A and B are shown apart, each in its own frame.
Chain A
């Protein structure tokens, strides 16, 4: 579960409730529960791994004005985090 470790280190959960992360469960951004079954990323881009990795690393370049900043993680780390998000299916 390298992706989970990345998510914990970067504190994604400060803004997003993410299944598997007990604390924090931020409420500034959307919950990522069931993310793997969601059709769109940020309501704009189809939910494909390559776009998700790009979005995680640099959201403002894709949706200017979003509160989500570019995250200080590497391409590989973003891929791991994306892999974790794709385990989050609707229950």
Chain B
């Protein structure tokens, strides 16, 4: 399966493509869920076959067999003992197989807090003590081959965090922190999607997980400790001034500048993101201008207003400024 996901069309492919991502795990946690799904499917088929055989015997079987099938003994064995034993064993096995996914945070875990917001994802990288060391949005970077513990929460309504190729699906509940572990065995880009209806543009609340080699991840993390480069061209400088004067900074933050709004996604390194609008558009200048100018036509009811009052050259200057933030 093509692992690179850049647009909504491909994100849909990443969630509903072939092979189905839930049957195409890219790490041990997703793998255990896939194993469980296959075993449960196998058991369901086996039980269905037994039931069909019993029905056939009851209708067409030899009289002696039919008599035994209708006896009290068969009800106790086939109707009570068999399901109790099989379902209990499956429950214990299934829970132990997947228990590693949500076990509590330990001191050595790499931690990332992800908060579901209507309709995007606030991402905070944490140190061992749970202090925030980096802010980002709509994109989660992880080292490949390592387990990462996600602390999932919500700022408003119930969302659900789902990257089918990397782990399970877990609700993000306001006022609560749910832990889920993810791991990608190989570097790549993995599509994710909110999996709990959260109003309005819920279906357009996507994100990507980018798995790097551990060395690349270290370099990425180090590079993000500094603020993004200052605008380098006149147009970008004009865009930066417009970003402040048009009110963008009321909701968006850019590290190293006076823009420190917290209501919307952090834009410190928005130019380096793979997607815009929370996993739904490719990150190019045209999509950036289209988003800033009228995101309401693209993602109706999202909380960013349309800026059709800005002239084309201003929209473009802001887009040029933002794409330089990388």
- A residues near B (Cβ < 8 Å) are 8-12, 14-15, 23-29, 65-72
Q: Does B68 contact A (CB under 8 A)?
A: no
Question: In angstroms, how far is the closest chain A Cβ from the Cβ of B281?
Answer: 5
Of the four ranges (under 10, 10 to 19, 20 to 34, 35 or more), the interface on chain B belongs to 20 to 34
Question: In angstroms, how far is the closest chain A Cβ from the Cβ of B134?
Answer: 28
Consensus secondary structure, chain A interface? loop
Consensus secondary structure, chain B interface? helix
User: B319 touches which one: A9, A69, A71, A72 (CB < 8 A)?
Assistant: A69
B281 and A14 contact, CB distance less than 8 A: yes
Could you jot down 11 A-B contacts, CB within 8 Å? A9-B9, A10-B284, A10-B286, A11-B287, A12-B286, A15-B289, A24-B281, A28-B289, A28-B290, A69-B289, A72-B285
CB closest chain-B residue, reference A72: B284
**Chain B residues whose CB sits within 8 angstroms of the CB of A11 once the complex forms:** 7, 281-282, 284, 286-287, 290
A25 and B287 contact, CB distance less than 8 A: no
**Chain B residues whose CB sits within 8 angstroms of the CB of A65 once the complex forms:** 312-313
Q: Does B165 contact A (CB under 8 A)?
A: no
Stretch at the interface among B27-35, B174-182, B291-299: B291-299
> Beta-carbon contacts of B249-283 to A below 8 Å, as 1s and 0s?
00000000000000000000000000000001110
B282 and A25 contact, CB distance less than 8 A: no
Q: List 6 additional A-B contacts (Cβ < 8 Å) besides A14-B287, A68-B289.
A: A9-B282, A11-B284, A11-B287, A26-B298, A28-B289, A67-B289
- B residues near A (Cβ < 8 Å) are 6-9, 280-282, 284-287, 289-291, 293-294, 297-299, 308, 312-313, 315-316, 319
**Chain A residues whose CB sits within 8 angstroms of the CB of B287 once the complex forms:** 11, 14
